[in-house]
A and B are shown apart, each in its own frame.
Chain A
Amino acid sequence: MNVNTWLEPIVFFLFAGVVLFSAIGIVLTRNIVRAALFLLGTLGGVAGLYFLLMANLLAAIQLIVYAGGTLVLIVFGVMLTSKSPWVRFAPSRSEAAAATTIGLVLFAALAKIVTGIDWTVAAHPADQPATVRQVGNLLLQQYLVPFEVASVLLLVVMIGAAYLARPEN
Chain B
Amino acid sequence: MIQEILGSQLGLSICIICLGLAVILTADAYCIYFERKVSAWMQDRYGPNRVGPLGLLQPLADGIKFILKEEFIPARADKILFYIAPALGVIIALVGFVILPIGGRVHWSWMPEGTTLLAQGASVDIGVLYLLAVGSLTVYGVVLGGWASNNKYAFYGAMRSAAQMLSYEVPLGLALMTLILTMGQLRLEGIVTGQIDSAWNAFLHPVAFLIMLITALAETNRAPFDLAEAEQELIGGYHTEYSSMKFAQFFLAEYTHMITASGLLTALFLGGYEVLPFSRLLAGVNGLSWLYWISTSVSPWAMVLRMAVFCGKISFFIFVMMWLRWTLVRFRFDQLMRLSWKALVPIGMAIVVVQGVLLYFGRPISWISTAAEIGILVIAAMISLLSGKPITGRQLSLVEDDEHAIRPSKTPVTV
The answer to whether B125 and A33 have CB atoms under 8 Å apart is no
CA distance A79 to B137 in the complex (A): 18
Known: A31-B78, A33-B147, A132-B125. Is A1-B162 also a contact (CB below 8 A)?
no
Cβ of B54 under 8 Å from chain A: no
Cβ of A9 under 8 Å from chain B: no
The answer to whether B126 and A56 have CB atoms under 8 Å apart is yes
Instruction: Return the contact of B136 from the options A33, A63, A129, A131 (Cβ within 8 A).
Output: A63
Which stretch (B65-73, B127-135, B224-232, B362-370) binds chain A? B127-135
Cβ of B357 under 8 Å from chain A: no
Nearest CB of chain A from residue B398's CB, rounded to whole Å: 24
Instruction: Return the contact of B81 from the options A37, A44, A79, A80 (Cβ within 8 A).
Output: A37
CA distance A140 to B129 in the complex (A): 19
CA distance A129 to B124 in the complex (A): 10
Give the chain B neighbours of A59 by CB distance below 8 A. Answer: 126, 133
Cβ of A16 under 8 Å from chain B: no
Which stretch (B16-24, B138-146, B300-308) binds chain A? B138-146
The answer to whether B134 and A63 have CB atoms under 8 Å apart is yes
Give the chain A neighbours of B143 by CB distance below 8 A. Answer: 72, 75
Known: A31-B78, A37-B84. Is A68-B136 also a contact (CB below 8 A)?
yes
Instruction: Return the contact of A79 from the options B126, B139, B147 (Cβ within 8 A).
Output: B147
Give the chain B neighbours of A37 by CB distance below 8 A. Answer: 81, 84, 140, 144
Instruction: Return the contact of A72 from the options B80, B139, B147 (Cβ within 8 A).
Output: B139
Give the chain A neighbours of B8 by CB distance below 8 A. Answer: 1
Instruction: Return the contact of A33 from the options B81, B134, B139, B169 (Cβ within 8 A).
Output: B81
CB interface residues, A 73-106, toward B, < 8 Å: 75-76, 79-80
The answer to whether A60 and B140 have CB atoms under 8 Å apart is no
Known: A33-B144, A33-B147. Is A60-B133 also a contact (CB below 8 A)?
yes
Cβ of B344 under 8 Å from chain A: no
Cβ of B10 under 8 Å from chain A: yes
CB interface residues, B 139-173, toward A, < 8 Å: 139-140, 143-144, 147-148, 155, 159, 162, 166, 169
CA distance A39 to B133 in the complex (A): 16
CA distance A71 to B136 in the complex (A): 11
- Proximity string of chain A (24-61) to chain B, C-beta cutoff 8 Å, 1 when within and 0 when not: 00000001011001001000100100000000110111
The answer to whether B133 and A63 have CB atoms under 8 Å apart is yes
CB interface residues, B 282-334, toward A, < 8 Å: none
Cβ of A160 under 8 Å from chain B: no
Q: Which residue of B lies closest to A131 (CB)?
A: B125
The answer to whether B139 and A68 have CB atoms under 8 Å apart is yes
Chain A interface main SS type: helix
Best-buried of B129, B148, B162 by chain A (most CB within 10 Å): B129
Q: Which residue of A lies closest to B135 (CB)?
A: A68
Give the chain A neighbours of B136 by CB distance below 8 A. Answer: 63-64, 67-69
CA distance A59 to B129 in the complex (A): 10
CA distance A57 to B124 in the complex (A): 10
Instruction: Return the contact of A56 from the options B124, B139, B140, B166 (Cβ within 8 A).
Output: B124
Nearest CB of chain A from residue B35's CB, rounded to whole Å: 28
Give the chain A neighbours of B80 by CB distance below 8 A. Answer: 34
Q: Which residue of B lies closest to A7 (CB)?
A: B10
Give the chain B neighbours of A159 by CB distance below 8 A. Answer: none
The answer to whether B147 and A64 have CB atoms under 8 Å apart is no
- Proximity string of chain A (1-30) to chain B, C-beta cutoff 8 Å, 1 when within and 0 when not: 101000000000000000000000000000
- Proximity string of chain B (76-106) to chain A, C-beta cutoff 8 Å, 1 when within and 0 when not: 0010110010000000000000000000000
- Proximity string of chain B (191-225) to chain A, C-beta cutoff 8 Å, 1 when within and 0 when not: 00000000000000000000000000000000000
Give the chain A neighbours of B126 by CB distance below 8 A. Answer: 56-57, 59-60, 132
The answer to whether A34 and B133 have CB atoms under 8 Å apart is no
11 A-B pairs with C-beta separation under 8 A: A56-B124, A60-B132, A63-B133, A63-B137, A64-B133, A64-B136, A68-B135, A68-B136, A68-B137, A75-B143, A129-B125
Residues of chain B touching chain A, judged by Cβ–Cβ distance below 8 Å, are 4, 8, 10, 78, 80-81, 84, 124-126, 129-130, 132-137, 139-140, 143-144, 147-148, 155, 159, 162, 166, 169, 186
Give me the 9 closest cross-chain CB pairs, A-B, nearest first: A68-B136, A63-B133, A60-B129, A56-B126, A60-B133, A64-B133, A60-B126, A131-B125, A64-B136
